[in-house]
Amino acid sequence: MNFKDQIESIFIDEQAIPEEFRLEREVHQREYLSNGEMHSWNGEVHEVLSPVCIKTAEGLKRKVIGSYPLCDEKEAAEALSAAVAAYNNGRGEWPTMSVADRITCVEKFTHKIIEKKAEVVKLLMWEIGKSHGDSVKEFDRTVEYIYATIDALKDLDRQSSKFSIEQGIVAQIRRSPLGVVLCMGPFNYPLNETFTTLIPALIMGNTLLFKPPKHGTLLHYPLLTAFRDCFPKGVVNTIYGRGNKIIPDLMKSGDINVLTLIGSSKVANELKKLHPKVNRLRAILGLDAKNAAIITAKADIKLSVQETVLGSLSFNGQRCTALKIIFVHRSLADEFLTELSDAVSKLKFGMPWEAGVSLTPLPEPHKPAYLKDCISDAVEKGARVINENGGATNESFVFPAIVYPVSKGMKLYTEEQFGPVIPVVPFDDVEETITYLIESTHGQQVSIFSNDDEEIAKLIDPLVNQVSRVNINCQCQRGPDVFPFTGRKDSAEGTLSVIDALRSFSIRSLVATKLNDSNKHLINEIVDSNRSNFLSTKYLF
């Protein structure tokens, strides 16, 4: 089949969808979890359209897969009150519970969500168009993350189970919760990235308001009863609705202690400013990124091509860590572009359930038009799409475009395209790439491709002060999840990783006293009687 026929027939009849990947029924969510109860919802709803279109008599239509509540400020305020009450100024059952008991609750929760794996994976695939294989990986990675978090917390707790003695003062130093956390995840990793903030926030003893992303909401529905059944009432509360309608009042209330958001710096800044006491708000944010690849004259072209394809097109380029601009030394540009075009032409595109599929339809309805606009802007300013069929679009599906030569002044030079477009910039002096990173508003990661140790060494030192991770001869990525994940400038605030997240969502507190006989006796009495969960030498295994 030629390309034209292939892209025109990418979407199929509903009956042709393989049975095992079909949604048994549409999911019309009419409940939400607040204050320990599933409340019914009879108000306005948001219809969920899959990025997957199906053939109908009226042409291609995004498949309706369900709907979810569009609650109002009132329900959001009730959820906030529930979280505030459950925290109860740090005196609630959850924030005062022993670490061991909190871990037991999270373990119980994990067992329950594992039972829902097939359901969640299918919704993940249908809601955001992620391939079935990658949807399974996202679920498994999330479960692994939870178990790793439990292990890291046990480790942290073991280190805190001893007393420190300095200058005649004895102290026990532990980490305590911060209060009410407002948690909002992104559409591209709606389960994983949400849970990499939600779980550490929860396990450290905070109470939560959790707003699922606009695309990637229904997949959380099967998990709500697990939240209800595994944690005390009011500890986890969900909020649904238009973010710009329900979130501002929550921030203005001053009752949110931590804002954790994986999204845009613009939204994060607007929200932070609404808090009446900014000093009381901690923000843990994963934001915009425009990670660059720097392919020097000494690079291995084959390897650079392979990693550029992975880095810029995994999940259609919809990763915050994706390579979003490629700098290539002019001496290699022609060969690099030829090989890159060839590699892109070999990528399998199709429906998310197809085995081996790499490129799938995009969930954001405006995205194909936005990408087209970015490409036209570059073409008007002197670039061209150099790969055959680059940018070809059929409804929600866009075939990757390699755009060259991209230069300053084009949208693709600075904007985070978050989709299947690869802007390539030729350079003569590597200094040009350093200048780009210095001038960039982003500062997440960079990838250097070179086989020359001297050249790499000279780049590492300036670049580690521009971004938060320098990758050598490989694409940018978040994992392994135990590594710190953060960014500079508009790319992040705070650090995530299995270990760092536990710190991000807590604050150190200590109990201290002068070391004399009567205090020694007091402390021993408290520890021996197990009357305090904080002042305790119990060892978690």
Residue ranges that bind ligand G3H, judged by CB under 6 A: 188-189, 193, 319-321, 477-479
CA dihedral 221, 226, 229, 230 (to 10 degrees): -140
- State the minimum distance, in angstroms, from the CB of residue 286 to ligand G3H: 7
User: What whole-number distance in Å separates Cα of residue 292 and Cα of residue 27?
Assistant: 40
Structural contact between residues 52 and 135, judged by C-beta atoms closer than 8 angstroms: no
- State the minimum distance, in angstroms, from the CB of residue 288 to ligand G3H: 11
Residue 483: Cβ within 10 Å count = 14
Identity of the amino acid at 441: T
Residue 216: DSSP 8-state? S
User: What whole-number distance in Å separates Cα of residue 318 and Cα of residue 280?
Assistant: 33
Nearer to ligand G3H, 140 or 377 (CB): 140
Paired strand residues for 509: 174
Pairing of strands 169-177, 180-184: unpaired
Nearer to ligand G3H, 329 or 442 (CB): 442
Nearer to ligand G3H, 226 or 502 (CB): 502
Mark out the alpha helices in 348-505 (DSSP H runs): 367-380, 411-414, 431-439, 453-464, 498-504
Burial classification of residue 204, based on how many CB atoms lie within 10 Å of its CB (0-12 exposed, 13-18 middle, 19 or more buried): buried
- State the minimum distance, in angstroms, from the CB of residue 475 to ligand G3H: 8
Nearer to ligand G3H, 339 or 416 (CB): 416
Nearer to ligand G3H, 193 or 395 (CB): 193
- State the minimum distance, in angstroms, from the CB of residue 320 to ligand G3H: 3
Residue 448: DSSP 8-state? E
Alpha-carbon 460 to chain mean position:
26
- State the minimum distance, in angstroms, from the CB of residue 215 to ligand G3H: 14
- State the minimum distance, in angstroms, from the CB of residue 84 to ligand G3H: 30
User: What whole-number distance in Å separates Cα of residue 538 and Cα of residue 104?
Assistant: 16
Nearer to ligand G3H, 84 or 323 (CB): 323
Per-residue tokens: 495? 């650090």
Nearer to ligand G3H, 177 or 213 (CB): 213
Is the N-terminal amide bond of 200 cis, ω within 30° of 0?
Answer: no
- State the minimum distance, in angstroms, from the CB of residue 128 to ligand G3H: 12
Per-residue three-class SS string for 354-390:
CCCCCECCCCCCCHHHHHHHHHHHHHHCCCEECCCCC
Nearer to ligand G3H, 105 or 268 (CB): 268
Per-residue tokens: 149? 């978090």
Nearer to ligand G3H, 412 or 492 (CB): 492
Nearer to ligand G3H, 63 or 478 (CB): 478
CA dihedral 129, 131, 134, 136 (to 10 degrees): 90
Q: Which of 528, 504, 517 is nearest to 206 (CA)?
A: 504
User: In angstroms, what CA-CA distances link 378 with 372, 385, 405, 426, 456?
Assistant: 10, 9, 9, 14, 31
- State the minimum distance, in angstroms, from the CB of residue 504 to ligand G3H: 15
Residue 417: DSSP 8-state? -
Nearer to ligand G3H, 94 or 485 (CB): 485
- State the minimum distance, in angstroms, from the CB of residue 496 to ligand G3H: 9
- State the minimum distance, in angstroms, from the CB of residue 262 to ligand G3H: 7
Residue 192: Cβ within 10 Å count = 23
List CB contacts of 521: < 8 A, sequence separation 6 or more.
none
Burial classification of residue 327, based on how many CB atoms lie within 10 Å of its CB (0-12 exposed, 13-18 middle, 19 or more buried): buried
Per-residue tokens: 382? 């002197």
Nearer to ligand G3H, 276 or 479 (CB): 479
- State the minimum distance, in angstroms, from the CB of residue 285 to ligand G3H: 12
- State the minimum distance, in angstroms, from the CB of residue 189 to ligand G3H: 5
Cα diameter, the chain:
87
- State the minimum distance, in angstroms, from the CB of residue 196 to ligand G3H: 8
